[in-house]
């Protein structure tokens, strides 16, 4: 009886050991999931903003493992802004680049990414996306002027800004009042000449593009955004009920679209 028990125990031990070895071998032979490929994401703010306007979007992009640069635009002229973005792109030596523009930043990325093979995708966030020879002023003729377009005032240097109360009313009505006041205080004054700037060859005809429309925007007509989104033939269009400050009020939705673009170019 004792001999039988020992034999039974030995049988169970050998069976367990064999099963364990097969399990370990099987696990070792299974292909390991590939880690997400890091993508370079360059963020370009528009007029009445600065690089910090992306502060709520950036953590989502970092969490996905991507390298992020938020360009600080001079806003002195479109040409100056384009040069600044091109310089930022030039510092990235490897890996795909997703170039993102908000508001007037859309005009800038449309120029800066032209004929640049290192840029893999464009993302427009409630942004202008002009065609060749087209200006923002010309685009605006097709739409009813918004009240916000009539209330810009010059600062001490002759650059245009929105008075603080009107900034809260038109630019960031869906942002927490305290935070919106900070944004208004830090807003980037811009040159009036950019409204008449005639765009060069558009990069959206060269690179896959994405667009997010702010349906409650009081700075750029939502109807214009919808038209621009359709015209550029984006791989994906998202519409959100948000103001022009959707970077702050709806950062996850903005980040998700950028991450969609990053995922596509990382393959």
Handedness of CA 212, 218, 221, 222 (dihedral sign): positive
pLDDT at 37: 81
Give dist(CA 246, CA 172) in Å, integer. 8
Instruction: Answer yes or no: is 138 within a domain.
Output: yes
| Structural domain of 211 | 40-266
pLDDT digits (tens, 9 = 90+) for 214-246: 999 999 999 999 999 999 999 999 999 999 999
| 164: pLDDT strictly greater than 60 | yes
| 7: pLDDT strictly greater than 90 | no
> What is the rounded average pLDDT of the residues 72-87?
97
Band the pLDDT of 58: cuts 50, 70, 90: very high
Instruction: Answer yes or no: is 4 within a domain.
Output: no
Give dist(CA 95, CA 171) in Å, integer. 35
Band the pLDDT of 171: cuts 50, 70, 90: very high
Instruction: Answer yes or no: is 21 within a domain.
Output: no
Q: What's the token pair of residue 139?
A: 């685009």
Instruction: Answer yes or no: is 15 within a domain.
Output: no
More confident residue, 6 or 117: 117
Instruction: Answer yes or no: is 74 within a domain.
Output: yes
CATH code: domain of residue 231:
3.40.50.1820
Give dist(CA 62, CA 67) in Å, integer. 7
Instruction: Answer yes or no: is 16 within a domain.
Output: no
Judge if pTM exceeds 0.75.
yes
203 burial (CB, 10 Å; 0-12 / 13-18 / 19+) is buried
> What is the rounded average pLDDT of the residues 3-16?
43
Band the pLDDT of 36: cuts 50, 70, 90: low
Instruction: Answer yes or no: is 14 within a domain.
Output: no
Band the pLDDT of 267: cuts 50, 70, 90: confident
Instruction: Answer yes or no: is 53 within a domain.
Output: yes
Share of the chain above pLDDT 70, in %: 87
Handedness of CA 40, 111, 240, 51 (dihedral sign): positive
Alpha helices in the chain (DSSP H): 2-29, 58-63, 78-90, 105-112, 136-140, 164-166, 177-185, 222-231, 246-249, 251-266
Band the pLDDT of 18: cuts 50, 70, 90: very low
How many folded domains does the chain comprise? 1
């Amino acid at each position: 009886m004792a001999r039988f028990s020992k034999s039974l125990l030995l049988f169970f031990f050998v069976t367990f050991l064999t099963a364990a070895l097969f399990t370990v071998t099987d696990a070792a032979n299974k292909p390991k999931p590939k880690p997400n490929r890091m993508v370079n994401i360059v963020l370009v703010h528009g007029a009445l903003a600065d690089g910090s306007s992306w502060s709520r979007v950036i953590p989502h992009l970092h969490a996905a493992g991507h390298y992020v640069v938020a360009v600080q635009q001079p806003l002195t002229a479109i040409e100056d802004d384009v040069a600044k973005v091109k310089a930022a792109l030039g510092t990235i030596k490897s890996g795909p680049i997703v170039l993102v523009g908000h508001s007037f930043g859309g005009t800038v990325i449309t120029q800066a990414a032209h004929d640049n093979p290192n840029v893999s995708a464009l993302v427009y966030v409630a942004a202008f996306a002009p065609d060749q020879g087209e200006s923002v002023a010309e685009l605006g003729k097709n739409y009813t002027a918004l009240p916000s377009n009539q209330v810009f005032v010059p600062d001490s240097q002759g650059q245009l800004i929105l008075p603080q109360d009107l900034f809260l009313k038109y630019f960031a009505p869906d942002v927490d009042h305290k935070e919106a006041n900070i944004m208004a205080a830090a807003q980037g004054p811009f040159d009036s000449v950019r409204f008449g700037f005639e765009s060069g060859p558009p990069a959206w005809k060269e690179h896959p593009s994405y667009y997010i429309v702010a349906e409650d925007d009081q700075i750029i007509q939502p109807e214009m955004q919808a038209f621009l989104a359709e015209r550029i033939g984006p791989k994906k269009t998202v519409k959100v009920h948000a103001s022009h400050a959707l970077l702050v009020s709806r950062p996850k939705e903005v980040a998700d679209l950028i991450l969609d673009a990053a995922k596509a170019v990382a393959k």
